[in-house]
Amino acid sequence: AQAILAQVDHPCSSVAFRIVAMSFAGRLRSVQQALGGVFQTQCRMQVTAATSPMKFRSMSGKVRDADAMEALDKGLRDAADNIWPKVPGVMRIDRTKCMQRMEYEVTIQFESGDALKAFLNGDVMKKELHPHMKGFSHCFEGGLSGLKWQNREAEKILD
């Protein structure tokens, strides 16, 4: 089907949405218009109920130089192959870096808050990942104490 873009006022907000003809969104719009004001309340309840925050653990820090950045990437891939598969509930691992500022960040997504808690209190963290990270402490400015660790929640807003 040919994509036809139109701007309409969405009943769940005052924001204009682009609707693609013949798509699910287009069919949904027709239903929304047919139901009128009754749908507005139902839509808000569905949006709230359908979203569940994703749980993440992130580590970020400043890296000494490009060689250290490369060593960290190798260490991360090694851990992804040999250590992370032992952790239940891990959905994905992402790495971002900024070569200009020499910043490095690793983010691990867990399937639930319980999976994140189990990881933080588990043996894999204490007996395998922490010793693995110690082997790369020289790569970071300030060593391991220069790293920032955070537990985060994220919610998908746009697909």
Rounded to whole angstroms, the Cα distance separating 23 from 20 reads: 6
CA 74 to chain centre: 22
Decide which of 151 and 53 is more confident: 151
**CB environment 117-139: b (16+ within 10 A), e (fewer):** ebbeeeebbeebbeeebeebeeb
pLDDT at 10 over 60: no
Nearest to 147 by CA among 129, 128, 121: 129
| Range with the poorest average pLDDT among 32-46, 73-87, 124-138, 139-153 | 32-46
pLDDT at 23 over 80: no
Averaged pLDDT, 27-48:
42
**Per-residue model confidence as pLDDT tens digits over 77-88:** 999 999 999 999
Averaged pLDDT, 112-130:
94
Question: Residue 104 burial (CB < 10 Å; 0-12/13-18/19+)?
Answer: buried
Looking at the whole model, is its pTM more than 0.75?
no
